Amino acid sequence: MKACFVPLSLCVSSVFISSCGSTTTFNPRSAYPPDPWVKGYSNPDDCIGGEKLAAIEFDLPSYPKSAFRNGQQGWAIIRLNVDAAGLTQNVKVERSVPSGVFETASRKAVEAWRFQPPAKPLSDCRVLLRYRAGEASLGG
C-alpha cells in the first residue's frame, strides 16, 4: 500500500499503476473523454479531492482487464464520506464515462482507502479517477 500524509491531490499526482500487470501494450480504440468539472457535481460545502483529505493508505484501482483489452479509456467521479476514524463510508460512483466500464474497480479501490482522521467526519467528498492509456491515476 502507498503511504502518504499530505493532501491526496498532492501526493498522488505522480503515482500511476499499470494495467493488470499486463505485458501487452495498451492499444486505445477511442479518445480519452474530456475530464469533468468535478466541482460542478458538488455543493460549496462538499470536500473535493485532496482539499480536506490526507491519505494514509491508498492503492489506485487496477485497469479493468476487459477495458484494457478493448482499448477503452475514461474516468469516474467517486463520492464518499470519511468517518471520524478516517475510514471511507458510503462510497458511490457519481458518474462514469463510459458507463458500465470503470465503476466496480473505482468503487472497490476507494472503499479500501484510509485517511488521517479528520477533525470532524467529512461528507460528500469527491475524487476523480482517470483510466487513460492503460493506467489509472487520480485527477487533480
Question: pLDDT truncated to tens, each residue of the chain (140 aa)?
Answer: 333 333 454 344 334 434 445 458 999 998 999 888 776 666 766 676 555 678 899 899 999 999 999 999 999 999 999 999 999 999 999 999 999 999 999 999 999 999 999 888 998 888 999 999 999 999 86
Q: Is the pTM of this model over 0.85?
A: no
CATH fold for domain 2-19+28-138: TolA/TonB C-terminal domain (3.30.2420)
CA distance 7 to 94: 22
Query: What are the residue ranges spanned by the domains of the chain?
Result: 2-19+28-138
